[in-house]
A and B are shown apart, each in its own frame.
Chain A
Amino acid sequence: MPVITYRQALNETLRQEMHRDPNVMLMGEEIGVFEGSYKVTAGLLQEFGAKRVLDTPIAEEGFVGMAAGAAMIGLRPVVEIMTINFSLLAIDQMVNHAAKIHYMFGGQAKVPMVLRTPGGGGVQLAATHSQNFEVWYAYVPGLKVVAPSTPHDARGLLRSAIRDDDPVVFLENLALYNTKGDVPDEADDGDYTIPIGKATIARAGSDLTLIAYSRMAVLAMDIARRLEAEEGLSIEVIDLRSLRPLDRPTIIESVKKTGRAVVIEEGWLTYGIGAEIAATIQEHAFDYLDAPVKRVAGVEVPLPYAKVLERAALPNDKHLIKAIREALYGTRS
Chain B
Amino acid sequence: MTKTANVEPATLSLAVSNDPVENTAYITDFSNDDPAELRSIYRMMLLTRRFEERTGEMYTKAKIGGYCHLNLGEEATVVGLMSALKPEDYIFTNYREHGYILARGVEPGRIMAELFGKDTGVSRGRGGSMHLFDIERHFMGGYAIVGGQIPLATGVAFALRYHEQPGVVICQMGDGTTNIGAWHESLNMAKLYKLPIIFYVVNNGYGMGLKVENGSAEPELYRKGCAFRMHGERVNGKDPIAVRNAVQRLRLMAQDDGEPAILEAVSYRFRGHSVVDPARYRDEEEVRRGREDDPVLRFAQNLLDAGILTDEIMKTMAEAIEQEVAAAIDFANSSPDPQIEDLFTYMYASPVANMPGPEDALEAARIARGEF
Contact = CB atoms under 8 A, between A and B. Distances in A.
Given A102-B347, A166-B348, A65 B131 contact: no
Interface in B154-196: 154-160, 162, 181-182, 185-186, 188-189, 192
A103 B126 contact: yes
Interface in A71-126: 71-75, 92-93, 96-97, 101-112
21 contacts: A25-B162, A51-B162, A57-B185, A62-B182, A65-B154, A66-B154, A69-B156, A71-B155, A72-B152, A73-B159, A75-B155, A96-B148, A105-B135, A106-B127, A106-B346, A109-B140, A109-B141, A141-B347, A142-B347, A197-B354, A246-B354
B208 to A, nearest CB: 19
Contact of B155 (A69, A106, A165): A69
Contacts of A106: 121-127, 133, 346
Contacts of A198: 353-354
B104 to A, nearest CB: 14
A63 B154 CA distance: 9
A196 interface: yes
A67 B346 contact: no
A38 B369 CA distance: 54
B158 A70 contact: yes
Interface string A157-198: 000000011100000000000000000000000000001111
Q: How large is the interface on B (under 10, 10 to 19, 20 to 34, 35 or more residues)?
A: 35 or more
A109 B133 contact: yes
B189 A59 contact: yes
Q: How large is the interface on A (under 10, 10 to 19, 20 to 34, 35 or more residues)?
A: 35 or more
Given A56-B189, A69-B154, A166 B349 contact: yes
Given A165-B349, A166-B349, A197-B354, A66 B134 contact: no
A72 B353 contact: no
Given A106-B133, A196-B353, A66 B182 contact: no
A66 B123 CA distance: 22
B148 A102 contact: no
B127 A105 contact: yes
A69 B346 contact: no
A93 B143 CA distance: 12
Nearest to B171: A69
A180 B133 CA distance: 47
Interface string A40-71: 00000000000100001101011111111111
A92 B145 contact: yes
B349 A102 contact: yes
Nearest to A64: B151
Nearest to A105: B133
Contact of A107 (B124, B154, B185): B124
B36 interface: no
A51 B159 CA distance: 11
Contacts of B355: 197, 245
B152 A69 contact: yes
A142 B344 CA distance: 10
Interface string B266-279: 00000000000000
A303 B159 CA distance: 40
A109 B133 CA distance: 9
B10 to A, nearest CB: 24
A141 B355 CA distance: 9
Nearest to A142: B347
Interface in B10-53: none
A326 interface: no
B350 interface: yes
Interface in B98-154: 121-127, 131, 133-135, 140-141, 143, 145, 148, 150-154
A248 interface: yes
* Closest 4 pairs between A and B when the two form their complex, measured CB to CB: A69-B155, A65-B151, A62-B185, A106-B124
B126 A104 contact: yes
A127 B90 CA distance: 43
> Which one of A67, A74, A106, A245 has the greatest number of beta carbons of chain B within 10 Å?
A106
